[in-house]
Copies of this chain bind each other. A is one copy, B any other.
Amino acid sequence: MARSDQRPVTVHMIAEHVGVSASAVSTVLSDRHEERRLAPATVEKIRKAVRDLGYVPNVAARRLRAQDPEVHHIELGILTSFEAPLFLVSRVLRQVQRMADARTGPGRNFSVSIAMFHAGRLREMAGLLDASRFNGVVITNTLPDDDTFLAATTLPYAVVVLGRRLPNYCCVLDTPGESGRRAAEILLGRGCRRPVVLTPALLTQSTVDRADAFCATVRSQTGAEPARIVAAGFTPTNGAEALRTHLGAGRGCDGLYAVTDGLALGAYQAIKHAGRKIPQDVAVVGVGDHEQVDFFDPPLTCVGPSNETIVELIVTQLFDLMNRRRVKPVETFVPPSLVMRASA
């Protein structure tokens, strides 16, 4: 890394510093000085300058130069926030890679990577606006601030948004209102009298939609507003703490809807610690955004996005956009799938 506050050091600067040509420097940098017969003394001088000046190569320049002009290099990215769980993201990644692998040949080459932004600060991600980083991206786990930013810009490349609705973007998400409604129906259907919804403090489009639909359904069927428990974050620890507080305060709960499975996992612990049984004393419904709901104890009943379908749709749309087989943005709603397991 260069000494601070300086212009980045380039091969030319090193060359000038040593008093040789840029070619000589490049030769040394790529360890070709033997075959190209640079004098050992020169090599040493260059090496020293490289160290002293703190040279860091410019990867964009290297890449441009190194690319075989006969082959396409296509960069795909999955953009998610640091704070969000990686389960769905890694499924998307695997699917993107699968489709990329199928299309990779002698003339075409894909790189797929995950890039993360601080929740609410997507706008700060370098290379997003000037299209200098990706040929196509899947964006997910945005907060309202990010959504506002996206809505106000048109990114000039293939973009598919996962799990939220944004005007002028291709979006794939579970049908609004459905998940929450069906979760409420499941709990009420089992005879729950005191249904509760557990949400994180920072709400995304999907979590707010689930919570609202749940509450609306409970209200319309029972006339009473369900309790809302707000956890500090998305993690099991947050969920456990929130539920512990709720139960500790003696406020009842015989049916719990967690808008993200991490919270449900935490809730499990708090419920069991309180000496209650799942599902007999408290039935729990999650959404299926955790990799291991089958291994929760008891396995978590989920009603939420059908991940397989969503991932497939999203990746297909991404490739269609890049192929220009699709040009107009579409919203695709995937009806939530219900997997009855043992928790409700």
A268 interfacial contact with B, CB 8 Å: yes
Taking a contact as CB atoms under 8 Å apart, the answer to whether A131 and B57 are in contact is: yes
* Residue of chain B at shortest CB distance from A70: B7
Residues 76-130 (chain A) with a chain B CB within 8 angstroms: 77, 82, 86, 90, 93-94, 97, 105, 107-109, 111-116, 126-127, 130
Taking a contact as CB atoms under 8 Å apart, the answer to whether B6 and A107 are in contact is: yes
Q: Other than A29-B156, A66-B132, A268-B295, give 9 A-B pairs with Cβ distance below 8 A.
A: A1-B74, A59-B131, A59-B132, A59-B135, A62-B131, A63-B63, A65-B132, A113-B116, A236-B292
A276 interfacial contact with B, CB 8 Å: no
A54 interfacial contact with B, CB 8 Å: yes
A56 interfacial contact with B, CB 8 Å: yes
Q: How many copies does the complex hold?
A: 2
* Residue of chain B at shortest CB distance from A157: B57
> Chain A interface secondary structure, helix, strand, loop or mixed?
mixed
CA distance A31 to B108 in the complex (A): 27
Q: How large is the interface on A (under 10, 10 to 19, 20 to 34, 35 or more residues)?
A: 35 or more
A67 interfacial contact with B, CB 8 Å: yes
Question: Out of B63, B70, B127, which one reaches A132, CB within 8 Å?
Answer: B63
A228 interfacial contact with B, CB 8 Å: no
CA distance A101 to B66 in the complex (A): 29
Taking a contact as CB atoms under 8 Å apart, the answer to whether B132 and A51 are in contact is: no
